[in-house]
A and B are shown apart, each in its own frame.
Chain A
Amino acid sequence: MKNSTLNNKSFWAIFKKDFIRNKFLYLMFVPIIAYFVIFHYMPMYGVLMAFQDYSPRLGISGSKWVGFANFMDFFKSPSFWIVLRNTVKISFASLVFGFPAPVVLALLLNEVKSNKLGRVVQNITYLPHFISLVVVCGLVHMFTRDTGIIGRTYNALTGSKGAMLNNPSLFLPIYVISNIWKEMGWGSIIYLAALLGIDNSLYEAAEIDGAGRWKQTLHVTLPGILPTFVIMLILRLGQILGVGYEKILLLYNSSTMDVADVISTYVYRRGLIDQSWSYSAAVGLFNSAVNLMFLTASNYISKKVNGYALW
């Protein structure tokens, strides 16, 4: 092949030959490179403002450098512990309750004998994934108000008054449950795919060895979806401080602020509303750095422990 003859030549010759052969490909790729440079790499350069006393008028090159002052301001501010605690709490609750839900649904669906029933359940549970977040949160607002069906039942049972979303202790359950409602079915697809990929002969062999259905589940089914499970878990753990702002912004209000304000919404408010650019960029950078650390760490651990890894 061409490649083997290329080995002896100098780098420059390879470079030139490749360019002549692929120049139209590279020409096609110019807009793509431009897109990534402008919309992905320029913000990475822009995030340097976290180390500056940034003013949009002066730009990155003109603003004064202040080192880690913005980070220190954040770590010392009382908001730091509040938003950190809330982020970890919401993320952890979503992980503990939200992460296993699709797995359980997939396992139960996998055991259903009737094809028709399975398909109906699948279609219904996938559906909420396609409903927009605004509508989902709007529904949450409507149903949990004191006139809404859930809110009315809750108030009758506990004797409390008003909208459930104004009650700080209910914010977390509402957030997690509505998330499960929206994403459980969709999340189960990936596990169902893994379950369908398990070789039938494994079940037959287990049957011959005298394993009942429960034993087969334990020793064939669960190991069969383990790789998928671990990969999804790694991805999820990388997001441990990555509670998104969109849903929180749609659900919180001044009375639940203390329990609902997470790092990303804090960045949003301090940055886009109060316009303290450098400070909020520093908070955001802190957040992505921690996320990247968690992702790398969980990937590394998983690779060491059982050999499944993203890279």
Chain B
Amino acid sequence: MKEASGNNFEVAEATEEARTGSSSTRPSRTLWGDAWQRLKRNKLAIISAVWIILMIIVALTADLWAKPLLGSPTEIDSATMAQNSRLPPSPEHPFGTDTLGRDVLCRVIYGARISLSVGVLATAISTVLGLIAGALAAYNGGWWDTIIMRTADVFLAFPYTLFVIAMLAVIGPGIQNVFIAIGILGWPSIARVFRSAILSVKENDYVDAARAMGASNFRIITRHIFPNSVASIVVYATMNIGGAILTESALSFLGMGVVPPDPSWGIMIQDGQTYLATEPWLMIMPGIAILTTVLAFTLLGDGLRDALDVKMKDA
């Protein structure tokens, strides 16, 4: 540095900006904490989250109270079957009964187990596959990128439901195979979202800063790129759960998914469609269950996207 301090700018050492810029009494907030504060203000997202949590609790504890109260969702009591067949909603059977005399509410509750687990597990499979594929494509670039993303394009070029049906036709129906088929075929869209998220994060100076420090590729990915691109995946996966539930219902409706007598919302709609004119609750009740659940996941995803968007920090 040249000639001592005489050449420093003639400013009062105004370091108040630096030292007292923010009062030290305010508790420090993390970005996730900030996101939670914003999410709390979004009523629709909170209602959706409460609804989802309620569904999970109901589905998990169903054995404790639904079975004793409403009867088994699968077993058929041949003695009472005829007189209990297709009863309208009543205090005893809030959602009515189906053709075989089973309580519809009970079947909807047990159906939630299957729908929620398909949604979560299938999404988990797609997310893991998609994250790996997307990370390899974006970080390595070049041929990796070309091969992985063109493969994804091929997958996406097939109509999704038809592809899943074709895969189930090969591996056979059944709940495990539904998990696998929906999960495996869902990776391309997640890979795309994650790849673009990484590509935009990679351009940031803090990634260059980490490289300039001598950080390893592993450290750069796990400490710098992943934490900054994970938000878009959280949002996408949440919405994807709703989509997977819908796909499972469609498959069961078409007879490719859950095998009777297991209750699934899709099967129930299929069973009930014959009676739409006379006993509409057989179809409407599981339909409402699908609608509210898928809507809840989509609205929660929407709320999460707004909450995690750093640019809306001060909104």
Whether chains A and B associate is no
* B residues with CB within 8 A of A: none
